[in-house]
Amino acid sequence: MSLNKNIKQQISESIQTQQLVLDELSEYIEYAAQKIVSALLADKKILSCGNAASVSNVQYFVAIMINRYERVRPSLPAISLVNDVQMLTSIANTQHYEEVFAKQLRALGQAEDVLLIYSVEGSALNLVKLINAAHDKQVSVILLVGENETTLPALLHESDICISVPSQSAPRIQEAHLLITHCLCDLVDSHLFGN
């Protein structure tokens, strides 16, 4: 395959996946945005985490919430559970790596907060423990995954939200999660600050 054909194939696959997100997930994205808005209006916060490549989406989402999306507006309370390397390695060293997020959530999470989880590849045990800890603290979960993920969605409660990108390709799922992040941030800003 020529380089140009390869480029066209990558872009075509991305467009097809994003079209599926539009066709199949718009309602779930809207519901997730409303859950975030409700938490923020109740003076609650949004916690976020993920593993590996998803870390970039976590950090980006939290930066948008605290700084801005497309307009200047007041900061919104959001915490990344992936940024503190000393914290992560301390918990992993003295406990187990599977506790790196759950232990932070038990310390920082409060009832009616929202936890936004990004998971592209596989159901890591640290995310399983995190979802269980969130439920123990009465923290709602918004889970962004791909269609090949079954373990994490099965842990969710009825009040939680799963947004499952209709793809098994890690790059396409990652791209779709970024698009969904943009949609969520735009909807949150519109709800809270108007058009």
Domain ranges of the chain: 21-193
The two structure tokens encoding residue 128: 């399983």
Mean model confidence pLDDT for the chain: 95
pLDDT tens-digit readout, 14-64:
999 999 999 999 999 999 999 999 999 999 999 999 999 999 999 999 999
H-helix segments, 47-169:
54-66, 85-94, 102-108, 125-136, 151-154
3-state SS assignment for residue 167:
coil
Band (195; pLDDT cuts 50, 70, 90): confident
Which helix (H) or strand (E) segment holds residue 115: the answer is strand 114-118
> Residue 10: what pLDDT?
93
Q: Sign of dihedral through CA atoms 187, 189, 121, 131?
A: negative
Q: What is the pTM of this model?
A: 0.95
Residues 6+ apart with CB under 8 A from 190: none
The two structure tokens encoding residue 115: 């936890």
Nearest to 174 by CA among 144, 151, 130: 144
Domain 21-193 has CATH 3.40.50.10490: yes
In this predicted structure, which of 85-89, 104-108, 156-160, 166-170 has the lowest mean pLDDT?
A: 85-89
> Residue 127: what pLDDT?
96
Tracing tokens 């994205």 back to the chain, one arrives at 29
* 138 backbone φψ class: left, alpha, beta (φ>0; ψ -120 to 50): left
The two structure tokens encoding residue 88: 């992560």
Residue 165 has pLDDT above 80, yes or no: yes
Residue 154 has pLDDT above 90, yes or no: yes
Residue 123 has pLDDT above 80, yes or no: no
